[in-house]
Amino acid sequence: MQAGRRQFIAGLLATGLVPKPSWADAGSPSFLSAAALVDGTYVLCGIDAALKVTFQLSLPARGHAAAAHPSRPEAVAFARRPGTYAVVIDCVTGSQTALLQVPGGRHFYGHGAFSSDGHLLFTTENDFEAGRGRIGVWDTRAGYRRIDEWDSGGVGPHDIKRLPNTETLVVANGGIDTHPDSGRTTLNIPTMRPNLTYIEAGAIVEVAEPTPPMHKNSIRHLAVNAEGQVAFGMQWQGDGAAPMLVGTHVRGQEMVLLDTPLDHLRDMRGYVGSICYADHDDTIAVTSPRGGIIQFYDARSGQLKKSRPLPDVCGAAASADGILLTSGTGALSFMTGGQQTVSRTESASWDNHLIPL
């Protein structure tokens, strides 16, 4: 959207002469993604179903993921770990409406989720002096004022999702302890304990852990289907080849780790970058930028169905007809049936995640 049009709409909104804005007023994007431009600046972009960029809004530093408000064209863009900012952006006017800053001794992990009514935002954070994960709670009706914080149920909380038709949060506690003084260096590999933690109104209601031999498999990214099944992607911190990298969980049951054929597992190079459900929740898609590959699993049987190469691929999100993928090369690709059907390239390096609206 051109800056002049954004300013014009902002003026009308201020006078109350237009109805409540929607995502259509922001160019009808279907997805959000952070990116780095060739001049070294960072932006949050809207991307439509035709792979066109509908808006490009400045960020103060490198972004990671974003959270889209459930009822208005507003997004929260999060700094890459161990960043300390999250920017609230009006995607119609392009204006920054709030800046979230964590309290001293905290940093963001790059992900957040809204309550179903959009009144609360939940953010994954590190209490780095205590070496414990926290969930920040922010009141969106009060200008994103911080009103509470909860125990995440583990160390290194990364991704966070809300289960459908509930207010239950699921948190990927990666198990990795870090401290800003050491940058992104991991401090506790021998004692890692990754888990999935389910939280309701601040109370931990369930914790699921992989078996002890998998304790160096950091649970990082999550996807949730309509029935509440959680798919998770991991990043191996141990020596040698990763034993497994993808799993699923349903509340009240044990974790299921998907047994991938060894050659395909090696292709991922120990690293899952993003994960999503697709094909009406029949498929789990996982990407690895390190391996330059996307894999497709049957969501019911857990069997690997196919894999496809795509250089530096990471962002993945489902649409009605397939999967949109973004790459650090600037490529935007649409896949249906595991086959690439449309591709175009922007003068940008897409960051790790693609957020569906």
Rg (C-alpha) for the chain, rounded Å, is 19
Burial class (CB in 10 A: 0-12, 13-18, 19+), 227: exposed
**What percentage of the chain carries pLDDT values higher than 90?**
72
Sequence ranges of the domains in the chain: 20-356
In the chain, what percentage of residues exceed pLDDT 70?
A: 93
- For residue 319, what pLDDT is reported? 87
Of the pLDDT bands very low, low, confident and very high (cuts 50, 70, 90), residue 190 is confident
Angle of CA points 146, 152, 158, to nearest 5°: 90
**Closest to 242 measured CA to CA, from 271, 276, 275:** 271
Residue 191, helix vs strand vs coil: helix
Closest by CA to 207, choosing from 167, 164, 175, 166, is 175
For the ranges 76-80, 157-161, 338-342, the lowest mean pLDDT is seen at 338-342
Query: Six-digit token pair at 89?
Result: 């952006």
The confidence score (pLDDT) of residue 337 equals 78
Sole residue written with tokens 């870090």 = 178
Taking only the tens place, the pLDDT of each residue in 83-102 is: 888 999 998 888 899 999 88
Give the largest Cα separation in the chain, rounded: 63
Distance CA 225, CA 317 (A): 12
212 to 191, 252, 265: CA distances (angstroms): 10, 19, 20
pLDDT tier at 3, thresholds 50, 70, 90:
low
The reported pLDDT for the residue numbered 16 is: 56
Beta-carbon contacts of residue 2 (< 8 Å; ≥ 6 apart): none
What pLDDT is stored for residue 250 in this prediction?
A: 97
**Beta strands across the sheet bearing 256-257:** 217-224, 230-236, 246-249, 256-257
- DSSP calls for 130-189: TTEEEEEEEEGGGTSEEEEEEE-SSSSEEEEEE-TTS--EEEEE------GGGTT--S-G
User: Is pLDDT of 1 > 50?
Assistant: no
Residue-wise pLDDT for 232-289, tens only, equals 999 999 988 899 999 999 999 999 999 899 999 999 999 999 999 998 999 999 999 9
> What is the reported pLDDT for 183?
64
* Most confident stretch, 123-132, 185-194, 338-347: 123-132
CA distance 58 to 106: 24
285-305 pLDDT per residue, tens: 999 999 999 999 999 999 999
For residue 72, CA distances in Å to 3, 6, 20 come to 20, 16, 8
**DSSP β-bridge partners for residue 160:** 171
| pLDDT value for 193 | 94
CATH superfamily of 20-356: YVTN repeat-like/Quinoprotein amine dehydrogenase (2.130.10.10)
Chain-wide mean pLDDT for the chain? 91
Phi and psi angles of residue 13, each rounded to the nearest 5 degrees, phi first:
-60, -40
Q: How far apart are CA 38 and CA 347, in angstroms?
A: 7
- Least confident stretch, 36-40, 179-183, 198-202, 238-242: 179-183
pTM of the predicted protein model: 0.91
